[in-house]
A and B are shown apart, each in its own frame.
Chain A
């Protein structure tokens, strides 16, 4: 099956939706075909996927120590 070609700019515009599995099947097929032939876009895709994973796994905002207790006291004191 041949797919209609898609430009790099169009691919970048949809790359985040692609990662979220939120593109129509025909667009998905065009993007997949593009990733096979364009090393730059494949690199952007891999890197962006990595970012999503890194942000999800690696960014931690530690609750300040005693946060829960202070919050509880605030609620009780109100």
Chain B
């Protein structure tokens, strides 16, 4: 089954009106094109598929309950993702496993400059390498160990393709904070993935042998 088609602004307004009047089918039609984004937003914080699904469902039901509070000029998907992120964060707060990673710390960006640790020269990753489980797993692992505040920005921006402005609005942080965190996230991902660039993902092709000319 392909991705459900998005709807126009005009039909969003109409669907919203019907959903507010209690039409559940209309509400589901609104939610359907965003369901993947909602799930991924929950995953970005919880890193666990079952928890993410539960939170995604809770967030959608919360959106339904508070539909009257939705500002018509906003984007429905942004609003829904915001609710999901809040739900996922409150789930984390309740979860003892995550006590060490304080959510409240997320609001500050006190760190200084980040210096790259590995200068491996990756000219280009061949596209066929992406089909290799090894690289996919390395990507997921690198993402999983990113601190939460970097991971959520990276996922919204580079996977969900939200703009800087939308990412800031969704997370409730400034655009400057989004940029700082995105920089850190991308550089840390690069450092985490660099060791494999020497050969394990490139089938020992000669052009990738000299990735560290210095």
Contacts and interface: CB of A to CB of B under 8 A. Distances in A.
Interface of A: 9, 12-13, 15-17, 19-20, 22, 39-40, 42-44, 46-48, 50-59, 61, 63-64, 67-68, 70-72, 74-76, 78
Chain A interface SS verdict (over half):
helix
Contacts of A42: 121
Nearest to B160: A56
Given A63-B39, A71-B35, A74-B61, A15 B187 contact: yes
B100 interface: no
B16 interface: no
B98 interface: no
Given A58-B136, A71-B56, A51 B189 contact: yes
Given A71-B57, A71-B60, A43 B121 contact: yes
7 contacts: A16-B179, A16-B187, A39-B214, A51-B193, A56-B159, A58-B136, A72-B28
Interface string B7-44: 00000000000000000100110011001100110010
Given A51-B186, A54-B139, A67 B158 contact: no
Nearest to B118: A47
B8 to A, nearest CB: 22
Contact of B119 (A9, A44, A68): A44
A17 B36 CA distance: 27
B194 A47 contact: yes
Given A16-B179, A51-B186, A63-B35, A39 B139 contact: no
Given A64-B53, A78-B61, A17 B183 contact: yes
B158 A74 contact: no
A47 B35 contact: no
Given A47-B190, A57-B130, A75-B31, A40 B119 contact: yes
B49 interface: yes
A43 B124 CA distance: 11
Contacts of A54: 125, 130, 135, 139, 193
Contacts of B28: 71-72, 75-76
B186 A44 contact: no
Given A43-B122, A51-B186, A57-B130, 5 more contacts: A22-B164, A39-B121, A46-B121, A59-B140, A76-B28
A16 B107 CA distance: 21
